[in-house]
Amino acid sequence: MKSKKNKLFPKEKRMLEQLGENLKLARLRRKLSAEQLSKRANIGRSTLWHVEKGSEHISIGIYIQVLSVLGLVDDIKGIASDDVLGRKLQDAKLLTRKRAPKKEKIE
């Protein structure tokens, strides 16, 4: 039985490619060769090539290793930290009551 392989939508693929390009530019700005970065990140040179091309089969752990070597690992903390849509949905549920609570009768 073949397992279904997840495919990215074109927009998501472009985002991953842009991330790879950003990482490559960060490496070049630091004047690191691909070999130096791959050794410091403890990954193979071909894996780094896939990272910089935005290949979808690379794990997030590999990206974190590369970000760490580049001194950019704190950037990962910003992902999903400002969940505007989630907060709006949460607030909408908090504001809509089905029915007001009954008042107690004072005798």
CA angle in degrees (0–180, nearest 5) for 19-87-74: 35
7's torsion region: left (phi>0), alpha (psi -120 to 50) or beta?
A: beta
User: Is residue 96 pLDDT above 60, yes or no?
Assistant: no
The pLDDT, as a whole number, for residue 1 is 57
> For the segment 22-62, what is each residue's pLDDT rounded down to a tens digit?
999 999 999 999 999 999 999 999 999 999 999 999 999 99
Q: Considering the chain, what is the average pLDDT of its residues?
A: 89
Using an 8 Å Cβ cutoff, are 35 and 71 in contact? no
At residue 78, the pLDDT reads 87
Q: How confident is the model at residue 101 (pLDDT cuts 50, 70, 90)?
A: low
Beta strands in the chain (DSSP E): none
Instruction: Give residue for tokens 């990140």.
Output: 41
| Average pLDDT value for residue range 64-87 | 92
pLDDT band with cut points at 50, 70 and 90 for residue 2: low
User: What are the structural domains, with CATH classification, of the chain?
Assistant: 10-78 (1.10.260.40)
